[in-house]
Amino acid sequence: MSRDPLLTRRTFLAGVGATLAAAALPVLSTAAFAADEHAKELRIGYQKAASTLVLLKAHGTLEKRLAPLGIAVKWTEFPAGPQLLEGLNVGAIDFGYVGEAPPVFAQAAGANFVYTAYEIPTPHAEGILVHPDAPIRTLADLKGKKIALNKGSDVHWFLVAALQKNGVKFNEIQPVYLPPADARAAFERGAVDAWAIWDPFLEAAKRQTNARLLADADGIVSHHQFFLSARPFAQQNGEVLAIVLDEVGKEGEWVRGHYSEAAAQLAPIQGLDASVIESGLRHYAHIYKPVDANVLAEQQRIADTFAELHLIPTKIVTRDAALSGKA
């Protein structure tokens, strides 16, 4: 996977500093915080599959950065992005990491969040699996089939786009909405014909069930990942978020240089073989950038498509979920 040498943490944090409210500099000294009012606790929502945040939690570096400022860190695990954003919507967390579709569903449901940063495209980190002996050979062959997926997750958009590109309407398949563990069980017992899923679950199923990869997202969707913040928290704690994103960037750099070591550390946490995790890790970029107009435009395309399909109840404007957008 190619790496742009210009995408350094310095570049990333400079952009974040220009975006986050009241953050004149991306990372301020401890003394600079003394006169500021900021949260005493940062509540982070994470998924076990979100390796960068899992490693950040395990390494404890964020706690060390925030402790001198009197800020504690609380971590809450969620099974997938939609559930994580439900937590954000009800005020249970301040910050989290999800795929590209969950923010669209959340914004349509009235969640008050802002896009804080994003991971550059990772199209090989999600795919559609079929049984090894299935007669399904192309995406067009999915017409009329039962397909398991986590409703509102990034694979929801991937599946819609993959079908559209191959002349199949979403209402011409039978979606079976299940979280990853239940979806795998349904797939293994033959209750569904296909399963749309992301890494590391994707790689694990390929190896452990002999499932066949029908297609990944390459050439179909970008598959961005996003860091999101509750809008009130972002408005009042720009400097804190800049520190968080600095540590996230450092963790991403470390993973890119230590795939095997990262996989070994994640194995007991994610409950998967380290070789499976390493393959999945290599499908993600671990490079993060400030949210910009182009990525919000891609999110708008998702939102418009979902509104047309009545997957969300109303049309939305994704730029309204930027920190400079509507409150």
Q: What is the mean pLDDT of the chain?
A: 88
> Which range (37-51, 54-68, 108-122, 139-153) has the least confidence?
37-51
The predicted structure's pLDDT at residue 325: 52
For 215, the token pair is 């297609």
Rounded percentage of the chain residues whose pLDDT exceeds 90: 81
The predicted structure's pLDDT at residue 327: 40
User: Which amino acid is residue 89, in one-letter code?
Assistant: N
The predicted structure's pLDDT at residue 49: 82
Q: Exposure string (b/e) for 189-215, b if CB count within 10 Å is 16 or more?
A: eeebbbbbbbbbbbbbbbeeeebbebb
The pTM score is 0.84
User: Which amino acid is residue 210, in one-letter code?
Assistant: N
The dihedrals phi and psi of 72, each to the nearest 5 degrees, come to -90, 155
Q: Exposure string (b/e) for 114-124, b if CB count within 10 Å is 16 or more?
A: bbbbbbbbbbb
3-state secondary structure of 214: strand
Q: In this structure, are residues 288 and 251 in contact, taking their beta carbons and an 8 Å threshold?
A: no
Rounded percentage of the chain residues whose pLDDT exceeds 70: 88
Place of tokens 């980190």: 125
> Which range (81-90, 95-104, 151-160, 211-220) has the least confidence?
81-90
Does residue 182 have a pLDDT over 80? yes
Give the C-alpha distances (Å, rounded to integers) separating 16 from 206, 289, 299. 37, 8, 19
Domains and CATH numbers, the chain: 9-122+224-321 (3.40.190.10), 124-216 (3.40.190.10)
Average pLDDT over residues 160-186: 96
